[in-house]
């Protein structure tokens, strides 16, 4: 295996996941894998794609990598070929559960997490070897995080609702 140059990740990535560096190919393939999973229903909507771009920027992905997502044809890509190149500076880190977690978030970014999207996340998780109970736990985690964000917004009077509602 060749030694690909590690690129620094963001402080947020270090705080949330304990990762401080990844290869450029890891950044690229992580986003592509998310596109494949979220796009399995035939479309990656604007809100879902915007979620991906925001997420990858927060993690420290270079802009030229993010630009490649716009050209990527997720409809014909093979998830299994993308996974091996997702490497970070932590040898024990595994991409699969993180991809499932982020795919759940990305798929629901438009406010609708359809049964088809849920089924695709489960299919992708199983293909990557993530056990069903872990997938269920990741769904619960995403739901809890959303509830906490909603509570924080209510407590601090932050509203994402239109003014006329």
24-38 and 115-127 helices cross at what angle (nearest 10)?
A: 140
- In 3D, which of 81, 83, 49, 86 has the Cα closest to residue 67? 49
Could you tell me the two tokens for 60?
A: 């420290």
Stretch 8-14: mean pLDDT: 94
- Gap between the Cα atoms of 28 and 69, Å rounded: 8
pLDDT digit string, tens, across residues 35-53: 999 988 888 999 999 999 9
pLDDT digit string, tens, across residues 110-120: 988 888 889 98
pLDDT digit string, tens, across residues 62-103: 999 999 999 999 999 998 899 888 989 998 899 999 999 999
Whether the pLDDT of residue 54 is over 60: the answer is yes
pLDDT digit string, tens, across residues 131-154: 999 999 999 999 999 999 999 999
Q: Where are the domains of the chain?
A: 6-155
With bands split at pLDDT 50, 70 and 90, how would you rate the model's confidence at 11? very high
At 6, is the secondary structure helix, strand, or coil? strand
pLDDT at 1: 40
- Gap between the Cα atoms of 35 and 43, Å rounded: 9
- In 3D, which of 27, 44, 26 has the Cα closest to residue 36? 44
Phi, psi values for residue 21, rounded to 5°: -155, 150
Stretch 3-31: mean pLDDT: 91
CATH number of 6-155: 1.10.3680.10
pLDDT at 162: 56
What counts of helices (H) and strands (E) characterise the chain? 8, 2
User: How many other CB atoms are found less than 10 A from the CB of residue 94?
Assistant: 14
Whether the pLDDT of residue 2 is over 60: the answer is no
């Amino acid at each position: 295996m060749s030694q690909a140059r590690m690129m620094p990740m963001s402080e947020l990535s270090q705080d949330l996941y304990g990762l401080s560096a990844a290869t450029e190919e890891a950044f690229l393939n992580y986003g592509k894998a998310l596109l494949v999973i979220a796009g399995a229903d035939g479309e990656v909507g604007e809100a879902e794609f915007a979620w991906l771009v925001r997420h990858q920027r927060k993690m420290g992905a270079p802009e030229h990598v993010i630009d490649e997502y716009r050209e990527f044809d997720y409809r014909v890509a093979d998830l299994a070929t993308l996974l091996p190149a997702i490497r970070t500076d932590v040898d024990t880190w595994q991409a699969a559960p993180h991809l499932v977690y982020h795919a759940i978030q990305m798929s629901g970014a438009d406010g609708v997490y359809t049964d088809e999207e849920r089924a695709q996340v489960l299919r992708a998780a199983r293909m990557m070897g993530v056990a069903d109970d872990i997938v269920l736990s990741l769904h619960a985690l995403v739901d809890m995080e959303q509830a906490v964000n909603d509570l924080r917004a209510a407590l601090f009077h932050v509203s994402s609702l239109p003014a006329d509602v």
